[in-house]
Structure 1
Amino acid sequence: MTFKLLNTLGAAAVAAVASSAAALAGPIDDRIAAGEPLRIGFSNIPIWGYPDENGDAKGFVNEIAIGILKKMGHDNVEATVTDWGGLIPGLQANRYDLITGGLYILNSRCENISFSEPIAQSGDAFIVPAGNPKGIQTYQDILAAEAVLAAGSGYNTVEAAKKEGLTDAMIMQVPGPTEMLAAVKAGRADAAGMTYFEAAHLANSDAAVDVTDPSALPEWTLNWVGVGFRDTDGDFLAEFNKALAEYVGSEEMMQAVAQYGYTKSTLPGGKTTEWTCSNR
């Protein structure tokens, strides 16, 4: 497989690249016909999607997406690491052809991009200072304690916190998990909301924080993960979904993602993107 990982560029460089690439931008099928690589955008999120020490795109969402593309016969792929908040805008601006990194299929996102069928399900959790001094397990606990929640900009936890009654003043939005961990450790936030995969990874890596019980949160915070596409790439997405149906849950896939803690309980079950867009 031909694979190249591109580093995130500065603002000026990104603008220059976007301008020079404009002639190549368009439906995925046009890029394939022109011999151009398929461009994956993802954010550096532990377990979900990240570059390893060799610069290769890792994480179970990248493994699954690249595995599906390979099954489709597409092995000319390059990937770019960007801020979480830049994934959907980058896709819409034709800087990427698909985006990974653990995007939950949410109604608010379905209004802007198209999603593959689900490839995983995941609950959320909080990281809190070791010992959980304020006894935080839920958003209502944060609200009652008038505490501060750190959340990644563009994360579903921002929507969830507001739905549970937290005000903007109680939500500290930061770029990603590194900044969320730093905010909790420095005492600038009392908890940080993220996927359970991220929270468990951070708690296992740093004794200064603990992870809360994801089952303490409401059922509606359970979410399903998909791969994001432009609305104009519907034909390619349909083919992607056909390959996905055969690949997700297969022995080959389960072996590829076992290293990330993805188990049978992580499989998406019977939920569809249509249902998830309507109910999340």
Structure 2
Amino acid sequence: MKQWWSVMILVPMLLLAACGQQSGDNKDEVSSAEETASANDTLSKLKEKGYVTVGFANENPYAYKTADGELTGEAVEIARTVLKRLGIEEVRGELTEFSSLIAGLQAKRFDLITAGMFINPDRCEAVLFANPEYSIGEGLAVKSENPLKLTSYKAIADNSKAKVAVMAGAIEIGYLQASGVTDKQMVIVPDQDAAISALQSGRADAMTMTGPALQSRLDSAKDSKLERVMEFEQPVVDGKSVRGYGATAFRMEDTSFQKAFNAELEKMKQSGELLTILQKFGFTEQELPGDATAEELCGG
């Protein structure tokens, strides 16, 4: 009799336990589904809206507005092509100082950064980069005939009176510091036009930025008193070339958006369409990113 009652009591307990276990499993499945839905949320919302807002720093040839207000540049046009294929027809720009782009993305002032931003481990801790769309070295411009004979960052460091204009938040600041250039020798400016002005006015003896950006500014300025240092020696930091790789940046949680973007970007690399867009902005085959990935460049 006792055995019969024991069985009667045990069966409901086992059933209850089984139900409890099943409920836990379902909860885990629901949680996983919610995480997936959340990861896809940004891309889905942008498709519904029909447009994306991108942060840019008015840096030619990466992302800038033309005289008639058109948003363009290599980073913008690559993103525009990719986004259209992802179902987002319109790209709107949010002009932001370069040094504030990451904070603006994190604060959701815009959905992406399309500013030709270099991938580096520090930035990788704050944003999620797509795979690189170009690779590039540094450039230096001076007064005609290069009166101070500045052919490298080290040459600037060796001349305590030499001053170099560099954009706030730009990666070149770190390269200059690593080459021995002091803070007093740097004229920090908000954008490229201010760098040109600093060089023209004599506030700086040189200006530095990436090669294509530098050439673009000189072409626009049409100032015969300025010239590019063609024999410029690329800086080496910690025994490594500083050749940089630029890419679109996403918020850290937008992994599915980034993966979808990467898939379309890879198709453009394979078809040659990426090079075609880059060439419109003064890039050559030498500036193609090769097989480099964001994961590798972030130190992963």
Secondary structure of the corresponding residue to residue 254 of structure 2: helix
Q: Which residue of 2 aligns with 1:143?
A: 157
Give the superposition deviation at 1:214: 6.9
Matches within 5 A, 1:30-45: 31-32=45-46, 34-35=48-49, 37-45=51-59
- What is the alpha-carbon distance in structure 2 between the residues aligned to residue 92 and residue 33 of structure 1? 20
Asked if the contact 2:57/2:95 (under 8 Å) is kept, the reply is: yes
Q: Which residue of 2 aligns with 1:10?
A: none
Return 5+ residue gaps in structure 1 as ranges.
Answer: 1-25
Return 5+ residue gaps in structure 2 as ranges.
Answer: 1-39
1:6-60 Cα distance to aligned partner (Å, 9 max, x none): xxxxxxxxxxxxxxxxxxxx95235226526211111111211111233221111
Output the amino acid matched with 1:121: S
Secondary structure of the corresponding residue to residue 248 of structure 1: helix
Asked if the contact 2:47/2:87 (under 8 Å) is kept, the reply is: no
Give the superposition deviation at 1:248: 2.9
Matches within 5 A, 1:172-251: 172-204=187-219, 205-213=222-230, 216-218=233-235, 220-248=241-269, 250-251=271-272
Q: Greater helix share, 1 or 2?
A: 2
Q: Percent identity?
A: 29
Cα root mean square deviation, aligned: 2.0
Asked if the contact 1:67/1:253 (under 8 Å) is kept, the reply is: no
- What is the alpha-carbon distance in structure 1 between the residues aligned to residue 232 and residue 131 of structure 2? 24
Secondary structure of the corresponding residue to residue 257 of structure 2: helix
Give the superposition deviation at 1:97: 0.6
Residues 47, 249 of structure 1: CA spacing in aligned structure 2 closer, same or farther, 3 A cutoff? Answer: farther
Output the amino acid matched with 2:109: R
Output the amino acid matched with 1:57: L
Asked if the contact 1:121/1:223 (under 8 Å) is kept, the reply is: yes
Aligned match of 2:276 in 245, 248, 255?
255
- What is the alpha-carbon distance in structure 2 between the residues aligned to residue 27 and residue 207 of structure 1? 52
Aligned length: 254
Give the superposition deviation at 1:268: 0.2
Residues 270, 33 of structure 1: CA spacing in aligned structure 2 closer, same or farther, 3 A cutoff? Answer: closer
Output the amino acid matched with 2:264: A
Output the amino acid matched with 1:184: L
- What is the alpha-carbon distance in structure 2 between the residues aligned to residue 43 and residue 51 of structure 1? 10
TM-score normalised by structure 2 residue count: 0.79
